[in-house]
A = this chain, B = another copy of it.
Amino acid sequence: MDEIAREGVCGLMDILAPGVRPGSDVAHLALLGYDPFVYYTGRGVFEAAGSGLKVGPNDVAFRCNFATVDENGVVVDRRAGRGTYGLDTLASLLDGLSLRGSPDIEVIFRATVGHRAALIFRGRGLSSKISDTDPGKVGMRSLESIPLDGSFEARKTASALNEFTKSAHELLKRHEINEERVKRGELPANFILSRGASVLPKLKSVSERYGFESSTCIAEVALVKGVAACVGIDIVDVPGSTGGLDTDVMAIGRAAVNSLKEKEFVFVNVKGCDVASHDKNIRGKIEMIEKIDGMVGYIRRQIDLKETIFVLTSDHSTPIEVADHSGDPVPIAIAGSPVRADDVDSFNERSVAKGGLGRIRALDLMPILLDLMGKARKFGA
C-alpha cells in the first residue's frame, strides 16, 4: 500500500461531507459517483439485489434477519444466535408465500449471508413508506409495521408485511429444522425481522454514465454487491471470500487481476477491517490490514501502471475506539499514468493528509478517474 502511495497522489476523502457518517451502501453509491442525497432509497433494495434477486420497478424490498422470539413473542436474539443451520430450507418455505389479505402481492424470500435474508414484495400499488418490524434490540416484541404517510399504498404494504411476519412465525416456530437447531444447541430461527423498506432508485448504469465498456465488482457482502448490481456492474463471486477475518484475500486479488484482463473498470471491496473494528478486535484488524497489504502488493505486481489506474481507498472509517462507522475522512491514493505524483511515501491517515489531492469528496473520485482515463469531456473551448 505504501508503494501505491509513493507512486501516486494522495489525500483525504470525505465520503459524504466532513463529520457525516456513511453506511456502506451510501458510501458505495458516493464512491461510484451517484449522490446518495439524490439517489438513496434505503438499504433493502441493495441487500436484495446483492443476493442475486432481480429487483423490479414495482417492488418493495426489505433487509431481514432470522431471529429468535420466546413463547410470548419477545425477541431474545435478533440474529437467531448467528447459527446458519437450515436457513436455506426455512427460507424456501417463505418464498412464494400467499398473503390472504393481499393475494395480488408476490412474496420473494431468500436467505443471504449468515442470519440475513432478503424479502421482496412484488405487485402494483405498493409503497416503501412503512416502518420496520425490527425493534433493533432484544427484550421486546417485534413491532407492528405502520404506514408512514396517508397513502393507500403504504397502508396496504404495511398490512402485508404484518401478515407476512405473522404467517412466517407460524410456519417457522414448529418446523423440524428448528427442533434440530435446538438439539444442536443453537437458537431456533423462528421469526423474521424486517427493516429498510425501499424501492429501486432510478440509477443510470456506469456504462451509460461514464462510457465504461465493461465493469466488474468483486465484493464480499450483499449490500455492496447490490449497489454495484443496481448501477449495471457485473458481479463476480469469489470462492473463499467470506466477508469475515478468515476471507481469502489472495483469491480476491487473483480474481481482480483476472477481471482486469477483460474489463475496463474493476471495483473490489474487502470487508474484514470493518468487521474487526465493529468488534473492537484490534489484533484482527491489524492482521486484516496486513493481508490486504499483501493483496495490494500482488495486484500491483501484476499490472502495468502505464495502462491501469490504481485507486486505493476505503468506503468509511471504522475506528476501533468508536467500534462503528465514523465521520472521519478516509485515506486515498491514486497511482498510474498520467497521475501527478506527490511527496507522500506511506499509506496512512496522517501521511496522506499532506498529499497532492488535498481533501476531496467521494463524488469527486469518478470525475478524477475519468480525467485520468482520458474519458472526460472538456467544458468550454
Contacts and interface: CB of A to CB of B under 8 A. Distances in A.
Interface of A: 11-12, 16-27, 36, 40, 43, 63, 196, 223, 317, 319, 321-322, 324-329, 337-338, 340, 342-343, 349-350, 353-360, 364, 366-372, 374, 376-381
Most buried by B among A43, A317, A329, A380: A380
A342 B353 contact: yes
Given A338-B321, A343-B350, A381 B21 contact: no
A369 B18 CA distance: 10
Most buried by B among A43, A317, A368: A368
A196 to B, nearest CB: 7
Nearest to A328: B340
A20 B36 CA distance: 20
B358 A350 contact: no
Give the 7 A-B CB pairs with smallest separation, nearest first.
Answer: A23-B380, A26-B380, A19-B367, A358-B359, A327-B371, A19-B368, A18-B364
Contacts of A27: 380
Contacts of A22: 378-380
Contact of A371 (B12, B36, B328): B328
A317 B338 CA distance: 12
B371 A20 contact: yes
Contact of A367 (B18, B358, B368, B378): B18
B18 A380 contact: no
Given A23-B379, A63-B381, 9 more contacts: A17-B364, A19-B364, A21-B378, A27-B380, A40-B380, A196-B381, A329-B358, A343-B350, A359-B359
A360 B359 contact: yes
A333 to B, nearest CB: 14
Contact of A19 (B63, B321, B343, B369): B369
B18 A368 contact: yes
A315 B344 CA distance: 26
Each complex incorporates copies of this chain amounting to 2
Interface SS of chain A: loop
A369 to B, nearest CB: 7
B12 A356 contact: yes
Contact of A21 (B11, B19, B324, B371): B371
Nearest to A42: B381
B12 A358 contact: yes
A196 B378 CA distance: 14
Contacts of A369: 19
Given A356-B353, A359-B358, A359-B360, A367 B17 contact: yes
30 contacts: A12-B356, A16-B379, A17-B364, A18-B357, A18-B367, A19-B369, A19-B372, A19-B376, A20-B371, A21-B378, A22-B379, A23-B378, A23-B381, A26-B379, A26-B381, A40-B380, A196-B381, A319-B338, A319-B340, A324-B378, A325-B378, A327-B367, A327-B368, A327-B376, A328-B340, A340-B349, A353-B354, A354-B354, A358-B358, A359-B359
A157 to B, nearest CB: 20
A20 B367 CA distance: 6
A379 B26 CA distance: 7
Given A19-B364, A356-B12, A381 B327 contact: no
A43 B381 CA distance: 6
Nearest to A369: B19
Nearest to A25: B380
Nearest to A376: B21
B356 A355 contact: no
A381 B25 contact: yes
